[in-house]
Amino acid sequence: MIRLKNVSKNYSTTQALKNISLHIRPGEFVSIVGQSGTGKTTLAKLLFAEERPTHGEVIIGDWDISRIKAHDVPLLRRQIGVVFQDFKLLPKKTVHENIAFALEVAGVGHRRISEIVPQVLKIVNLHDCAHRYPCQLSGGEQQRVAIARALAHKPKIIVADEPTGNLDTINTQEIINLLKKINEFGTTVVLVTHNREVVNHLKRRVITIHDGQILSDKEEGRYKL
């Protein structure tokens, strides 16, 4: 599903990633952990082609996205849902409109949009909030809208980059439970986080990044740094 082969990423004089190789199987729930500045967010950006590797290959399914053409990036991102720490919701659009807009940009018809939006809102338990605006929602609810938007294209992979970074403990657990539920549907989940408690509670595969390199890769691992 996801394979990195000898991947390095340089920014000017800084080397963010150093010769990383890894394989994430279809349907896995994998946490990528490390302290700030270790390269884990750079790794996440490589997965959805916001960044390109300086050296090496990034393979998603049958695609070598290290050399992906600009016009193919939207097609890739329909297969990879992305969730960010800061939600990235459009403040002047309702919950329904935020999700619908992502589909409209991809050329999905209005009839199909009217079917998809209620479905994904039901998954994240926000079907009663369709006509609210982001400012009328809690942080946890906003993040659930962001996850619903990421699910709208029925992606094979969800990349969640610090999705609980702005949330309290209760909302954090709700988001992690939702990601686990999505994973149970068969979606591959890549969670990028520095939250030790979340990772250790999950008891899933943990890849620890330190100084741009893989320090450890363990099934049912723990985050010990």
Alpha-carbon distance values, 119 to 114, 124, 151, 153, 156 (Å): 9, 9, 10, 11, 17
**Residue 129 pLDDT:** 96
Written as six digits, the tokens of 142 are 């906003």
Closest CA to 141 of 107, 94, 191: 94
- Rounded Cα distance between 157 and 193, Å, is 17
- Rounded Cα distance between 209 and 78, Å, is 27
pLDDT digits (tens, 9 = 90+) for 109-129: 999 999 999 999 999 999 999
pLDDT at 153 over 80: yes
Helix (H) or strand (E) holding 129: none
Check: CB of residue 17 under 8 Å from CB of residue 43: yes
**Residue 23 pLDDT:** 96
pLDDT at 224 over 90: no
DSSP letter assigned to residue 127: G
**Residue 75 pLDDT:** 83
Domains of the chain: 2-218 (3.40.50.300)
pLDDT digits (tens, 9 = 90+) for 160-178: 999 998 899 999 999 999 9
pLDDT digits (tens, 9 = 90+) for 125-137: 999 999 999 999 9
- Rounded Cα distance between 77 and 214, Å, is 26
pLDDT at 225 over 60: no
Confidence of residue 43 (pLDDT cuts 50, 70, 90): very high
**Interval 145-159 mean pLDDT:** 95
pLDDT digits (tens, 9 = 90+) for 45-67: 999 989 999 999 999 988 888 88
| Mean of the per-residue pLDDT values of the chain | 92
Residue with tokens 């998603």: 60
pLDDT digits (tens, 9 = 90+) for 69-78: 888 888 888 8
Per-residue DSSP letters for 146-186?
HHHHHHTT--SEEEEESTTTT--HHHHHHHHHHHHHHHHTT
Other CB atoms closer than 10 Å to residue 79's CB: what's the count?
Answer: 15
Beta strands in 41-166 (DSSP E): 55-60, 63-64, 80-83, 157-161
